[in-house]
Amino acid sequence: MSRLGTRRGAEHTRILSTGSRRPDRVVSNDEICQVLDSSDQWIRERTGIINRRFAAPGETVVDLAVPAAQQAIERAGLQPGDIDAVIVATITHMISTPSAAALVAARIGAGRAVTFDLSTACAGFSHGISVASDLIRGGSVRHVLLIGVDRMTDVIDPTDRGSAMIFGDGAGAAVIGPSDTPGIGPTVWGSDADQWEALYQTQSWTGYRDERDAGGTPPWPVLTMMGPKIFRWAVWDMSPVARKALEAAEVDVADLAAFIPHQANMRIIDQMAKQLKIPDHVVIARDVAESGNTTGASIPLAMDRLVSEGQVPSGGLALLIGFGAGLSYSAQVVELP
């Protein structure tokens, strides 16, 4: 009886480098309120957001992703041809095919790489870390370029008080590769799919097309969410997930150098830190204040800021947790590059 051959990759993996691309246009709360019925004080008190970045007209998720990817590859000391797989976590790639990952790979000179997109919104990057690590450990690839990128301004109603002030655009990237020692802990992930209506797109693209073709003037499909419900879920249901990730990695919260949650809202971040009893010496990522909620890009943008600005030590442990539409979530402890 014949037996199939198998592959075995590196025993351990780690994040080798990070990169980022923040759009040039800085949008203040005052500018948001020119359209939205709100105020700078109201937005700051409820979200902690001061500014966010908006992509330029015509600047796509691929345009945002490419410079972040190039920066991460260069910092890893690699060439584009060394990248075996490109994974893009996004919900705002506005064409069905080819994938954003394929277009990024072609642009950066990694055209032979495996390419695919992940669509789990705010949990996309932390999902991608697990997928990349497993691909490497399974022997399928050696180096993975993982990008979280979203252009949320394409899918937001600027007059919606429940969401318009929250979101921004951006891209963050990481190169993940083999390691002699553990650099990425076990992932704790899942979903509360029965609660999907807490955050969803108002209409399907086919519904939009059919209504338009019938002579109607349908509104552009946008995201809508139940803010209070998402807040309660994030604080009370995600804190236990974060604790499980610490336990799975056999790490105490006091061993952390950084806590890098999805940058949804400053109040959520602060409440999660309180629930987890994050010690004072642990740096808490608060990139949301100047970037807004960039969905798939939020964790890698926050991580890159902490690393590139020297706020955290190389090799320090960071607890990551992404959560959002779906309602999907994932968390893991990683060593910082």
Cα distance between residue 239 and residue 91, in whole Å: 25
Can you tell me the distance from the alpha carbon of 20 to that of 172, in angstroms, rounded to the nearest whole number? 4
Which residue in this structure is represented by tokens 């806590």?
259
Residue of 127, 143, 265, 293 with catalytic role: 293
Whether 293 is catalytic is yes
Size of the chain, expressed as the number of residues it contains: 337
Whether the ω angle into residue 219 lies within 30 degrees of 0, i.e. cis, is no
**Tokens of residue 47, six digits:** 């979200």
The residue annotated as part of the active site, out of 93, 122, 127, 143, is 122
Cα-based distances in Å from 235 to 229, 265, 276? 10, 11, 10
* Contacts by residues 281-287 (CB-CB < 8 Å, ≥ 24 positions apart): 282/253, 282/254, 282/256, 282/257, 282/258, 283/257, 283/258, 283/259, 283/311, 283/312, 284/258, 284/259, 285/258, 285/259, 285/260, 285/261, 286/48, 287/263
CA-based nearest residue to 34, from 164, 150, 223, 152: 164
CB 155, CB 204: distance < 8 Å: no
The radius of gyration of the chain from alpha carbons, rounded to an integer in Å, stands at 20
Catalytic residue (one of 127, 143, 262, 265): 262
- What span, in angstroms and rounded, lies between the C-alpha atoms of 249 and 277? 18
Annotated catalytic residue 262 = yes
Distance CA 199, CA 271 (A): 21
Q: Is 51 a catalytic residue?
A: no
Catalytic center residues: 122, 262, 293
